[in-house]
Amino acid sequence: MKKIILASTSTLHGGDYLDYLLPTLENHFSNCKTLLFIPYAKPGGISHDDYTKKVSTTFSKINIAVKGIHEFENAVEAVKNAEAIFTGGGNTFLLVSELYNHHLMAILKTTIEAGTPYLGTSAGSNIGGKTMNTTNDMPIVLPESFNTLGLINFNLNPHYLDTDKQSTHMGETRETRINEFHTVSNIPVLGLREGSWLEISDSKLILKGNLKSRLFRKNEIAIEIETESDLSFLK
């Protein structure tokens, strides 16, 4: 059975890395002693080793040992043999480029859909959608393709920000950008606000967290989705 968590962010304002999710993760990875970490998104340019150490420190709190995928001689075999997998946030273009460069996109999808527990945050959640086209990140590299894992039948926009009507900012809002996406695509987009996540199994797709999410569909008015809602109708 699929066991997937796609979270908007790894860190809430004023909190420590993944702390707000730890009780959920302890349950999610309850049968796991080891975790394969994919650090390719490199937030702020952090090294793979330093990023993996950061993740390892957090997961030690729930007695799970972490090893970075870059530490394996064969990345494909590392994914196949993983007890659990976590893809961290950072730059989605870089992450997707590296997944294709290492021939990991297809095997990652197959492995997760076969039941290996998966966690994604930010960029690691973006790749759970059909494409990465609704990321907020700068295109610092050109991936082989914008197609991603397709673990869900829609796209995500992590870190979704509502339009501030009092702001003097004249640039595009998130809603404007998603509407632009819908001039060329029919794929629905879920705007995940900070502290929100999706829990996905074979039968259910539940919105978790304290905040609503915003669902955009082509030629329709965007709607608010209440927390604890089942979004299986989008699967």
In this prediction, residues 195-211 reach a mean pLDDT of: 94
pLDDT in tens, 77-105: 999 999 999 999 999 999 999 999 999 99
Predicted pLDDT of residue 162: 87
pTM, two decimal places: 0.96
Predicted confidence band of residue 15 (pLDDT cuts 50, 70, 90)? confident
Please identify every residue annotated as catalytic: 122, 137, 159
pLDDT surpassing 90 at residue 166: no
Q: Long-range CB contacts (< 8 A, 24+ apart) of 102-108?
A: 102/75, 102/76, 103/75, 103/76, 104/75, 104/76, 104/79, 105/147, 105/148, 105/149, 107/76, 107/79, 107/80, 108/79, 108/149
Which of 172-176, 199-203, 231-235 is predicted least confidently? 231-235
Predicted pLDDT of residue 168: 66
pLDDT in tens, 107-161: 999 999 999 999 999 999 999 999 999 999 999 999 999 999 999 999 999 999 9
Beta bridge partners of 215: 190, 223
Q: Are 23 and 218 in contact (CB under 8 A)?
A: no
Predicted confidence band of residue 171 (pLDDT cuts 50, 70, 90)? low
In this prediction, residues 156-167 reach a mean pLDDT of: 85
pLDDT in tens, 36-73: 999 999 999 999 999 999 999 999 999 999 999 999 99
| Residue in 185, 141, 180, 177 with CA at minimum distance from that of residue 159 | 177
Residue 27 dihedral angles phi and psi, to the nearest 5° = -75, -45
The Cα–Cα gap between 47 and 134 comes to 25
Q: Which CATH superfamily is domain 4-234 in?
A: Class I glutamine amidotransferase (GATase) domain (3.40.50.880)
The Cα–Cα gap between 155 and 35 comes to 26
Q: Are 53 and 47 in contact (CB under 8 A)?
A: no
